[in-house]
Structure 1
Amino acid sequence: MSVFEMSRGTAGLVLTAAALAAPLAAGSAAHAVVTPTLQVAMTGSVLGVANTASVGCRQVAHATLKNPDGSPVSAGTVDFFSHLNGQAGNVVGSVPVNNGTAEISWLPDAPGTHVISAMYHDGGTDYQPVAGSITINAVNLGGACL
Structure 2
Amino acid sequence: MRNHVWNTAHPIKRLVAYIIDIIPIWLIGIIVSIQIFRVNPLAANDPLSGAAAFIAARKAKMIISLCTFGVWLLYCTLAEVSPWAGTFGKKLMGLKVRNLEGKRPGLFQALARNLAKIVSVAPFSLGLVWATISKTRRTWHELLTGTAVVER
Normalised TM-score (structure 1): 0.20
Larger Cα-atom Rg:
1
Larger strand percent: 1
Q: Which has the higher helix share?
A: 2
Task: State the TM-score, normalized to the length of structure 2.
Answer: 0.20
